[in-house]
Homo-oligomer: A and B are copies of this chain.
Amino acid sequence: MTLAEKAYDALRHDIIRGELAPGRPLRLSDLSERYDMGFSPLREALNRLHAERLVTAESLRGFRVAPLSLDELHDAVDVRIKVECDALRASIKLGDDSWAAGIVSALYALNLQVGRTGPDADIWTLEARHYAFHRALLAACNSPWTLEFFERLYAATERYRIPTLLAAANPAGRDVQAEHSALAEATLARDADKATALLEAHYRRTADHLTSVFGMDKASGMVAAG
A52–B52 alpha-carbon span in the complex (Å): 8
Does chain B have a CB within 8 A of A72? yes
What is the 8 Å Cβ interface bit string for chain A, positions 147-190, against chain B (1 contact, 0 not)? 01100010010000000000000000000000000000000000
Does chain B have a CB within 8 A of A206? no
Within 8 A of B (CB), among A64-85: 72, 75-76, 78-79, 82-83
A59 and B1 in contact (CB under 8 A), knowing A51-B48, A51-B52?
yes
A142–B79 alpha-carbon span in the complex (Å): 11
Interface of A is mostly: helix
Does chain B have a CB within 8 A of A44? yes
A144 and B82 in contact (CB under 8 A), knowing A47-B48, A52-B51?
no
Within 8 A of B (CB), among A9-29: none
Residue of A47, A53, A82 most packed against chain B (CB within 10 A):
A47
- Copy tally for this chain in the complex stands at 2
Chain B nearest CB, measured from A92 CB (Å): 16
B residues less than 8 Å from A86 (CB atoms): 82
A75–B148 alpha-carbon span in the complex (Å): 12
Residue in B closest to A148 when the chains form the complex, CB atoms? B53
Residue in B closest to A90 when the chains form the complex, CB atoms? B78
Residue in B closest to A156 when the chains form the complex, CB atoms? B145
A interface with B by C-beta (< 8 Å)? 1-2, 4-5, 40, 43-45, 47-53, 59-60, 72, 75-76, 78-79, 82-83, 86, 142-146, 148-149, 153, 156
Q: List 12 A-B contacts (CB under 8 A).
A: A1-B59, A2-B59, A4-B47, A40-B40, A40-B43, A47-B47, A47-B51, A48-B48, A49-B51, A51-B52, A79-B145, A79-B146
